[in-house]
Amino acid sequence: MISLKKKKLITGFLFLTLFINLGCNFFYSDTVARRLITHFSGQKDTFIADYSSADQLLNSLKNTNGNIFIDFKGFTHTDFEPIAALLYFRAVYLYYPRKVFVADPSQIITLQGVEFLYDNFVVTKSFLEKNKIKTIFTLSHSHKKGINWKIKRL
C-alpha cells in the first residue's frame, strides 16, 4: 500500500508529463499545433511555402494533356538541386497517371533525385513520340530572375 501523499505525487507527475508534452507542441515550430495556429492566424508558414510555391508553379500544367517532359535549365548548383528534385517528384505525384520525364526512362533516380540534371540528356523526336509526350515544360533558373517557366504543347 502506498500513502495518499505518494499517490498524489505520482498523479501529479503524470499530469506534469502531459503538460510538458502539450507545451512542447506549442513552443516548437515544426508541430501540428504551431502550424495550425500559423495557418489560421494568416501568417506565412515558411516550411509549407516551398511546397505551395512548387504546386503553384506546377499548376500551370493543369490545362495540358499527355505525358510531360520537364526540361531543367540552370539548376546544376548545390543550392538549386533540391528545388529541381522537389519539382520533379511533386510533378510525378500530382500528375499521375500522366507520366513525367526528366531524362531517359532507364535513368535511375534515387534518394538525391538530382542525377538527371547532370546527364546532358538531349530530347529527340523519336523519344517524344515513343513516350507519348505532349507537353514540354521548361524551367529556367537564374540568380537574378529566379525561376521562369515555358510550356510547349506538341
Residues that bind another protein (CB under 8 A): 1-2, 7, 10, 13-18, 20-22, 24-25, 27-28, 30-33, 35-36, 39, 47-48, 51-52, 55, 89-90, 92-94, 96-97, 101-103, 105-111, 113
Which sign, positive or negative, has the C-alpha torsion 8, 10, 16, 22? negative
Q: Rank residues 109 and 123 by Cβ distance to another protein and give the closer one.
A: 109
Q: Rank residues 73 and 94 by Cβ distance to another protein and give the closer one.
A: 94
**How far is it, in rounded angstroms, from Cα 90 to Cα 95?**
8
Tell me which H or E stretch contains 37.
Answer: helix 32-40
Q: Rank residues 126 and 143 by Cβ distance to another protein and give the closer one.
A: 126
How distant, in Å, are the alpha carbons of 1, 34, 38, 109, 114 from that of 20?
29, 15, 21, 42, 41
To the nearest whole angstrom, how small is the minimum distance from the Cβ of residue 97 to another protein? 5
